């Protein structure tokens, strides 16, 4: 599997069989990024920065419900959770998605805003990759995300939904509070993309241009 970070909470996952999955597509005015071609598009929730289908090319299947689906070589499991710490009263629902392909388990937490629940902990058990929001304001703070990484214990954590150069969301934090709070025993890798074999620890991916 190959992983490309499109920015914000959007990733392109490419399996060895050629299946292409785009997560949480978003508009160019948030952060300029390539428009990817996909077979499957997942959306963690319906806020505008996570469901802009104009940013995806191809004849794709949309996954935006709590139903579990299998598409070609990819099994996709939904884990319902909340966008905030008060069961959705502030910002509504969120869907975490677990992707299983190429013998890997990849978890995208969407705009998770609450501490991991037992259901989420169970779903993430043995995760190879964990895409986790770290920017705060609308999601987990960097400190809370670092604690969640400790609880969920993926082989590799990949921060997302943080302010990087060119990002228009001034109210969210950069990745730095997360990196400062994360377990100092976890090595931090700064990479342009991910391909097997994946490293262990934390991978800070450069958004694609």
The CATH number of residue 116's host domain is 3.60.15.10
Number of C-alpha atoms within 13 angstroms, CB side, residue 2? 10
List, for residues 153-162, the tens digit of each pLDDT value: 999 999 999 9
Chain-centroid distance of CA 183 in Å reads: 20
List, for residues 66-123, the tens digit of each pLDDT value: 989 999 999 999 999 989 888 888 888 999 999 999 999 999 999 999 999 999 999 9
The model's pTM is: 0.96
In sequence order, what are the beta bridge partners of 119? none
Q: How confident is the model at residue 11 (pLDDT cuts 50, 70, 90)?
A: very high
| pLDDT score recorded for residue 196 | 92
Q: How confident is the model at residue 125 (pLDDT cuts 50, 70, 90)?
A: very high
Which range of residues forms the domain containing residue 68?
2-205
| pLDDT score recorded for residue 87 | 87
| pLDDT score recorded for residue 139 | 97
**How many domains does the chain fold into?**
1
| pLDDT score recorded for residue 122 | 97
In sequence order, what are the beta bridge partners of 4? 12
Mean pLDDT of the chain: 96
């Amino acid at each position: 599997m190959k992983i490309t970070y499109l920015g914000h909470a959007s990733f392109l996952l490419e399996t060895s069989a050629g299946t292409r999955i785009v997560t949480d597509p978003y508009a160019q005015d948030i952060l300029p990024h390539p428009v990817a071609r996909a077979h499957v598009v997942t959306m963690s929730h319906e806020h505008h920065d996570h469901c802009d289908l104009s940013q995806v090319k191809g004849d794709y299947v949309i996954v935006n419900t709590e139903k579990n689906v299998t598409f070609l070589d990819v099994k996709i499991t939904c884990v319902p959770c909340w966008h905030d710490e008060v069961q959705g009263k502030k910002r509504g629902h969120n869907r975490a998605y677990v992707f299983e392909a190429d013998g890997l388990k990849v978890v995208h937490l969407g705009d998770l805003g609450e501490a991991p629940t037992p259901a989420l902990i169970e779903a993430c058990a043995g995760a190879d990759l964990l895409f986790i929001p770290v920017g705060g304001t609308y999601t987990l703070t960097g400190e809370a995300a670092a604690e969640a990484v400790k609880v969920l214990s993926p082989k590799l954590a990949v921060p997302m939904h943080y302010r990087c150069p060119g990002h228009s969301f001034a109210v969210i934090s950069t990745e730095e509070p997360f990196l400062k709070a994360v377990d100092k025993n976890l090595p931090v890798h700064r990479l342009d993309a991910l391909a097997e074999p994946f490293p262990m620890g934390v991978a800070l991916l450069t958004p694609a241009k």
